[in-house]
């Protein structure tokens, strides 16, 4: 048996099948490029699904090493990771494929030759399984292996596919290696197919010969073929002679780094729990590095939710190992070093990955802190009620709302002598999964496109034509109405009452060639008209279906259209011009962000429309007002420079060599289109653009905000919309300045010139201002400064001086407020009464806000140390109740949440909270005094 590194295994596999006439295909991204029904790429065959179904064949044989991720969807291995020695979330699948070319005979022969002759794995250790009804495979295998080592298994084990809701599927044959009795379960029934570790399946050879639709119905596959999957991690374990995947060169450096961070008492690999945790972290960090490098960012929905769950699962296991500091970010470099030779993009995205993980680790530290606080409060409440079961809805709240791991909840409750209502929790989880399943339907258009996929097999490719202008003559290839292909569409008769809306017929139209740009690359589709002498079709949207069809969606409002008619296609020129301006300035914006903010910024999504643009990018801090001004100014400088915008068609590798930016994870053809704006910006792009930068006009940033951890979003406008926006912002400056009695003078340039002559002497008369007045003036000046920053390069110094003076007065008022609170608290403590030998106070007080009320509560607790404390106050025209209970009183059964709820109910309000401190609202403030005066009897009855 050859002792090969993972690098050598990849090399040997690719060479063997390239020598057999297979075309080398690069790995697809972890987000499937052509299958919206899948969360992630789960197998090597995913990128080839269209080829078995009749798509255009660029080759008949292919070989690849595919990055795969099985987590969060069909075929998820997440829960098995760490518990077995063979399951992973992220893994590499080596595969050879045939599309209507060779079939079982060659696939079995070459698999056997590669394993036995190239890898030199001993024949006597090999077993194979086949589908129980596959006589053809049985006959072929007998040429290479004794029939006693051929095992027939049922549909659950040896029938594969489809990947997703529909696609190619068929029987399969698997190769196993017998690792010996020492790895087995010692049962007399132990054999191939057993769940123990003795018989390790390492190569699955699938014979796709059926197509299964979304209803589960199977029919003959248009091109039967071969789809194989050989797990690199498992093969490395076999060839490197180690006990499990985590001891191979793929994982060993990561495990070593994890152990450096562990406390000295961690017993790896001897302690089973410690071993599981180390393996989970080692597996999950690889997943995180690869997914985040493709801009799959942790979030609360879809793919991002799965990645966040994986990250937090890894952090939980780190905590179980006693690691409390940030760990995962320190493991990134090791993964990149190990894997970047095979996947060079990892070096380019390393800093981006680190930033995302660091932000998530810091964020989850807060989640853990918040979750522990809530859980400890729940346990104290249950203990006071002499309950021993943590309710399912509370577990669900901790897990779903706070992101607190269920396993950690289980550990803590067990340590405290409680059990979990797991059935109640599971019911809520099942209900949530059902809602998520209903919501996750992939691209809704994709589910409605079966009729167009069928048409694609019959029709020639219809092209988007760039160079014939926005008006061309073309022919109708097909018409679809109400989901059915029709030969003719007739508009309804126009009603005699012309005041009523003109009736229309909704139709999808396919043209021989089209000047309408189909939605794609973030750019919306064109609109316009399709005309002929006897009819008019209003195009409301344009999009692609697959690779061949461009679909024009709209309605017929006059006359009729037939298949084969010659028509005039007319794009809305004004709308297209606005879209082109927004698309070109998006390219400039990305280059400016990299120049002015951070060279590691990468695009994470975009929307290019006629009214606005949206640009999502990887970054971990909000842009300051100064940074936004700098970016906006630099973009406008480049627009005024008026560079020529050029396009060039060239090979992908040539474009990258010229420095062209590409979206990682995007599937590009061998030939690409590069858009250059002078020497400043080069991007791969299929969209429409202006010819010269100055055609864009004025550029304005409307907003900048966070949309996910590590992802920021800029919304912006260009052209006339930007000019109108600037005009509105200038008017706002004048309005705010007038309110502050500050004259504003404007010159003829885009900026404002200010002369500040305040009639109010903020610095001299500040002592006259009380809190309400300070807050009002502060807000006005802050609003004015913010508005000025949106339109001018400088803010007058005197405004900042006025703002600073108000801040100083605010500090003095806060100090005065604290002294007043302390004095009031001391007075309240003189009016103690007792309930069941417990000292209590109840008082209505005057404060400015809730923080000041809580400050007063703290002062009373500090003074009296033990007791029950009730405070009421009118704040912002509403009644507020605050109840505090000292720790010693908690032990006797008193609970602030129950007391405040009873008090609030008496006044028609509601509230609750923790055992030691709780708050409630009283809508009718006139009833507050009555409630506070009755506190004694209410406390007495709520123990």
Q: How far is CA 313 from CA 172, 279, 408, in A?
A: 34, 12, 10
pLDDT recorded at residue 808: 75
Give the whole-angstrom CA distance, residue 734 versus residue 784. Answer: 9
Are 91 and 245 a contacting pair, CB within 8 Å?
no
pLDDT recorded at residue 447: 46
Provide the strand spans (E) within 627-710.
Answer: 645-651, 671-677, 681-684, 699-708
pTM reported for the whole predicted model: 0.61
Chain position carrying tokens 């987590």 = 71
Per-residue pLDDT reduced to its tens digit, 614-672: 999 988 889 998 899 899 999 999 999 999 999 999 988 888 889 888 775 566 777 89
Closest listed residue to residue 228, CA positions, set 38, 23, 63:
63
- Mapped onto helix, strand or coil, the DSSP state of residue 282 is helix
- Mapped onto helix, strand or coil, the DSSP state of residue 95 is strand
Q: How far is CA 8 from CA 11, 14, 22, 236, 547, in A?
A: 5, 10, 19, 10, 36
Work out the angle between the directed axes of helices 625-641 and 573-596 (0-180°, nearest 10).
Answer: 120
Q: What is the DSSP string of 549-560?
A: EEEEEEEEEEEE
Q: Taking the CB of residue 636, how many other CB atoms lie within 10 A of it?
A: 21
State mean pLDDT over 783-793: 67
Per-residue pLDDT reduced to its tens digit, 473-506: 999 999 999 888 999 998 876 555 555 455 567 8
Helical segments of 700-796, H only: 720-739, 762-765, 771-791
Work out the angle between the directed axes of helices 328-339 and 302-320 (0-180°, nearest 10).
Answer: 110
Are 178 and 114 a contacting pair, CB within 8 Å?
no
- Calculate what percentage of the chain has a pLDDT beyond 90: 50
Chain position carrying tokens 């803590």 = 412
Q: How far is CA 726 from CA 154, 633, 713, 723, in A?
A: 70, 13, 20, 5
pLDDT recorded at residue 750: 40
Terminal Cα distance for the chain, rounded? 75
Spatial CB neighbours of 387, under 8 Å, sequence gap ≥ 6: none
pLDDT recorded at residue 591: 96
Please calculate the CA angle 207-209-212 and round it to the nearest 5 degrees: 115
Chain position carrying tokens 């599981």 = 276
Spatial CB neighbours of 279, under 8 Å, sequence gap ≥ 6: 81, 82, 246, 255
Count Cβ atoms within 10 A of the Cβ of residue 117 and give its class: 0-12 exposed, 13-18 middle, 19 or more buried. Answer: exposed
Q: Which helix H or strand E contains 196, and what residues bound it?
A: none
Spatial strand order of the sheet with 681-684 comes to 645-651, 671-677, 681-684
Give the whole-angstrom CA distance, residue 394 versus residue 407. Answer: 14
Per-residue pLDDT reduced to its tens digit, 316-335: 889 889 888 889 999 999 99
Give the whole-angstrom CA distance, residue 760 versus residue 775. Answer: 15
752 pLDDT band, cuts 50/70/90, is: very low
Q: Is the pLDDT of residue 163 over 80?
A: no
Radius of gyration of the chain (CA): 35
300 or 183: which leads in pLDDT: 183
Q: Taking the CB of residue 902, how many other CB atoms lie within 10 A of it?
A: 17
Are 377 and 914 a contacting pair, CB within 8 Å?
yes
Per-residue pLDDT reduced to its tens digit, 218-264: 888 888 899 999 999 999 999 999 989 999 999 999 999 999 999 98
pLDDT recorded at residue 492: 77
What are the b/e assignments for 508-545, b being 16+ CB within 10 Å?
bbbbbbbbbbbbebbbbbbbbbbbbeebbbbbebbbbb
799 or 224: which leads in pLDDT: 224
Q: Taking the CB of residue 401, how many other CB atoms lie within 10 A of it?
A: 11
Q: Mean pLDDT of all residues in the chain?
A: 86
Q: How far is CA 167 from CA 158, 186, 218, in A?
A: 17, 40, 9
Q: Taking the CB of residue 83, how many other CB atoms lie within 10 A of it?
A: 11
Q: Taking the CB of residue 820, how many other CB atoms lie within 10 A of it?
A: 15
Chain position carrying tokens 């595969």 = 95
Closest listed residue to residue 562, CA positions, set 504, 471, 490, 503:
490
Closest listed residue to residue 351, CA positions, set 709, 713, 619, 27:
619
pLDDT recorded at residue 139: 96
Give the whole-angstrom CA distance, residue 616 versus residue 593. Answer: 11
Give the whole-angstrom CA distance, residue 81 versus residue 91. Answer: 12
Give the whole-angstrom CA distance, residue 268 versus residue 283. Answer: 16
Spatial CB neighbours of 688, under 8 Å, sequence gap ≥ 6: 466, 517, 523, 576, 579, 580, 583
Chain position carrying tokens 């002759």 = 117
Closest listed residue to residue 167, CA positions, set 415, 476, 563, 453:
453
pLDDT recorded at residue 760: 44
Provide the strand spans (E) within 797-877.
Answer: 833-835, 838-845, 868-875
338 pLDDT band, cuts 50/70/90, is: very high
Q: Half-sphere exposure of 134 toward its Cβ, with a 13 Å CA cutoff? A: 29
pLDDT recorded at residue 776: 67
Count Cβ atoms within 10 A of the Cβ of residue 467 and give its class: 0-12 exposed, 13-18 middle, 19 or more buried. Answer: exposed
pLDDT recorded at residue 764: 37
Instruction: Give me the residues paired with residue 834 across strands.
Output: 839
Q: Is the pLDDT of residue 789 over 80?
A: no
């Amino acid at each position: 048996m050859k002792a090969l590194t993972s690098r050598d295994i990849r090399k040997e596999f690719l060479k063997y099948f390239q020598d057999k006439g297979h075309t080398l295909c690069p790995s697809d991204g972890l987000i499937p490029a052509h299958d919206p029904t899948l969360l992630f790429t789960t197998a090597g065959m995913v990128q080839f699904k269209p080829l078995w179904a009749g798509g255009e064949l660029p080759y008949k044989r292919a070989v690849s090493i595919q990055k795969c991720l099985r987590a969060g969807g069909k075929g998820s291995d997440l829960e098995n990771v760490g518990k077995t020695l063979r399951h992973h979330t992220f893994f590499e699948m080596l595969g050879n494929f045939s599309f209507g070319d060779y079939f079982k005979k060659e696939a079995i022969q070459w698999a056997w030759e590669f394993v036995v002759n190239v890898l030199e794995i001993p024949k006597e250790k090999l077993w194979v399984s086949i589908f129980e009804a596959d006589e053809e495979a049985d006959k072929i295998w007998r040429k290479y292996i004794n029939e006693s080592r051929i095992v027939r298994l049922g549909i659950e084990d040896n029938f594969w596919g489809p990947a997703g809701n529909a696609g190619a599927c068929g029987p399969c044959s698997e190769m196993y290696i017998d690792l010996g009795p020492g790895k087995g379960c010692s049962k007399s029934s132990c054999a191939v197919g057993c769940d123990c570790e003795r018989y390790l399946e390492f190569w699955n050879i699938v014979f796709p010969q059926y197509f299964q639709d979304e209803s589960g119905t199977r029919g003959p596959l248009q091109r039967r073929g071969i789809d194989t999957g050989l797990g690199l991690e498992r093969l490395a374990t076999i060839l490197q002679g180690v006990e499990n995947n985590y001891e191979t060169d793929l994982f060993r450096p990561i495990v070593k780094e994890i152990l450096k961070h562990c406390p000295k008492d961690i017993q790896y690999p001897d302690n089973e729990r410690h071993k599981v945790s180390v393996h989970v972290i080692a597996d999950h960090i690889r997943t995180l590095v690869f997914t985040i490098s493709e801009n799959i960012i942790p979030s609360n929905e879809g793919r991002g939710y799965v990645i966040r769950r994986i990250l937090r699962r890894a952090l939980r296991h780190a905590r179980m190992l006693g690691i409390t500091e940030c760990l995962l970010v320190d493991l990134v470099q090791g993964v990149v070093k190990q894997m970047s030779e095979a996947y060079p993009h990892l070096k380019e995205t390393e800093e981006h990955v680190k930033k995302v993980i660091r932000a998530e680790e810091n964020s989850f530290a807060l989640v853990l802190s918040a979750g522990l606080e809530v859980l400890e409060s729940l346990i104290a409440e249950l203990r006071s009620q002499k309950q021993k079961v943590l309710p399912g809805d509370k577990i669900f709240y901790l897990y779903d709302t706070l992101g607190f791991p269920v396993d950690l909840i289980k550990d803590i409750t067990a340590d405290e002598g409680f059990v979990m209502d797991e059935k109640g929790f599971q019911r809520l989880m099942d209900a949530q999964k059902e809602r998520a399943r209903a919501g996750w339907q992939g691209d809704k258009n994709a589910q409605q496109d079966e009729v167009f996929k069928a048409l694609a097999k019959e029709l020639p490719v219809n092209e988007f034509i760039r160079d014939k202008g926005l008006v061309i003559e073309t022919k109708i290839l097909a018409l679809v109405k109400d989901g059915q292909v029709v030969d003719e569409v007739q508009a309804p008769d126009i009603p005699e009452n012309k005041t009523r809306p003109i009736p229309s017929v909704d139709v999808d139209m396919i043209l021989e060639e089209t000047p309408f740009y189909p939605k794609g690359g973030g750019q919306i589709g064109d609109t316009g008209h399709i005309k002929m002498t006897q009819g008019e079709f209003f195009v409301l949207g344009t999009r692609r279906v697959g690779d061949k069809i461009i679909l024009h969606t709209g309605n017929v409002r006059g006359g009729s259209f037939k298949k084969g008619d010659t028509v005039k296609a007319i794009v809305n020129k004004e709308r297209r011009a606005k879209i082109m301006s927004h698309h070109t300035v998006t390219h400039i914006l990305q280059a400016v962000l990299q120049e002015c903010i951070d060279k590691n910024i990468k695009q994470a999504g975009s929307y290019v429309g006629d009214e606005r643009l949206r640009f999502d990018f990887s970054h971990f801090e909000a842009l300051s007002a100064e940074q936004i001004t700098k970016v906006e100014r630099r973009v406008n400088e480049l627009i005024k420079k008026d560079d020529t915008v050029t396009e060039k068609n060239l090979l992908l590798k040539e474009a990258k060599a010229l420095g062209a930016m590409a979206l990682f994870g995007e599937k590009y053809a061998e030939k690409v289109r590069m858009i250059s704006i002078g020497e400043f910006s080069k991007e791969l792009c299929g969209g429409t653009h202006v010819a010269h930068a100055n055609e864009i006009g004025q550029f304005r940033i409307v907003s900048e905000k966070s949309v996910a951890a590590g992802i920021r979003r800029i919304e912006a406008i260009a052209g006339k919309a930007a000019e109108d926006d600037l005009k509105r912002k200038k008017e706002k400056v004048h309005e705010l300045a007038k309110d502050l009695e500050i004259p504003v003078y404007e010159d003829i340039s885009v900026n404002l010139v200010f002369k500040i002559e305040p009639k109010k002497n903020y610095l001299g008369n500040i002592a006259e201002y009380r809190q309400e007045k300070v807050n009002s003036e502060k807000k006005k000046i802050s609003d004015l400064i913010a508005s000025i920053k949106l339109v001018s390069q400088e803010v007058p110094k005197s405004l900042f001086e006025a703002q600073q003076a108000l801040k100083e007065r605010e500090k003095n008022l806060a100090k005065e407020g604290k002294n007043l609170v302390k004095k009031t608290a001391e007075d309240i403590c003189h009016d103690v009464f007792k309930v069941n030998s417990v000292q209590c106070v109840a008082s209505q007080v005057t404060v400015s806000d809730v923080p000041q009320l809580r400050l007063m509560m703290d002062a009373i607790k500090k003074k009296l140390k033990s007791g029950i404390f009730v405070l009421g106050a009118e704040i912002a025209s509403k009644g507020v109740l605050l109840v505090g209970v000292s720790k010693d009183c908690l032990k006797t059964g008193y609970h602030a949440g129950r007391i405040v709820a009873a008090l609030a109910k008496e006044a028609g309000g509601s509230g609750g909270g923790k055992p030691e401190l709780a708050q409630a609202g009283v809508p009718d403030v006139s009833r507050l005094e009555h409630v506070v005066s009755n506190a004694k009897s209410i406390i007495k009855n709520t123990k």
